[in-house]
Amino acid sequence: MAEYDTFADRYDTTFELVPLRTYVEAHSIMELVGDVTEQAWLDVACGTGAYTRQLRRRGASRVLGVDLSPEMIRVARDAEQERPSGVEYQVADVGALGDVGRFDGALGVYLLHYSESVEHLHDMCRNIGRSLRPGGRFVAYQLSPDISQVPGYYLKYGADFLLRSDGPLENGEAFAFRINVTGFQSPYFTVYYWSRAALEEALTEAGFGEIRWVMPTLSPEGHDHPGPQWWQDHLDQPFAVLLEAVKM
């Protein structure tokens, strides 16, 4: 996406500026991913490679990161050149992803809500499924189907959403989102709402089963930064949740 190209060089600073990314997002994602020792993993919507590199550091035998933004991939490749670890990167739309090999797992952080249509959503899920071996897991961190439509609900966590508040959201409905914290403000991005049923249907059609939803949790370090009560609004109604599915 062109918006990501505009701040690719600063994207990794969001892990420092937005505590949610470290103490909830990263913690919850890697807890669900679990042990990847000697496994091959595909990181779709890899961005600058923050999670791609984590997978490799945790013992994955092969890791391929894929992202639509050439600038995000450039930053990821620069990091790989500076500290070589054997991670591969490719610029591609997951909805049109070709044959990139077979993997034991796939990670998709902030991916599926960029599906612009039912067809695009199904294409993304189908291509991810095609890249997994039977029994391979797809772990996603996805905008919640139960996202709060209260204006400003997530502002203190660095997330600024422009959603209508006059009724339930519809599948495929577009709304705007940006990162908004002191010292950093991203452009607005267009994202799309998908219900649990729509996401599960796309995954099932793509050959996935054992689909489950997992609520994010707060890391032990997060309890002290700035304290457990500060996080409660987000833990009660997070704007992103985890989704796991197994390739049948």
Give the β-pairing of 103-109 and 40-44: parallel
> In terms of residue numbers, what domain contains 68?
2-145+195-247
Any idea what the CATH number is for the domain that residue 129 is in? 3.40.50.150
Do the domain assignments include residue 79?
yes
d(CA 219, CA 205): 34
19-42 mean pLDDT = 97
Residue 230: the pLDDT is 94
CA dihedral 177, 180, 186, 188 (to 10 degrees): 20
> pTM of this prediction?
0.96
Question: Tens of pLDDT along 71-95?
Answer: 999 999 999 999 999 999 999 999 9
237 is a domain residue: yes
Is the pLDDT score of 8 beyond 90? no
The reply to whether 166 falls in a domain is no
Whether residue 180 is contained in a domain is answered as no
pLDDT at 1 (0 to 100): 59
Give the integer Cα–Cα distance in Å for 248 and 233. 36
Q: Is residue 66 part of a domain?
A: yes
Give the three-class secondary structure for 139.
strand
Tokens of 99: 């044959």
CB 75 within 8 A of CB 7: no
The number of folded domains in the chain is 1
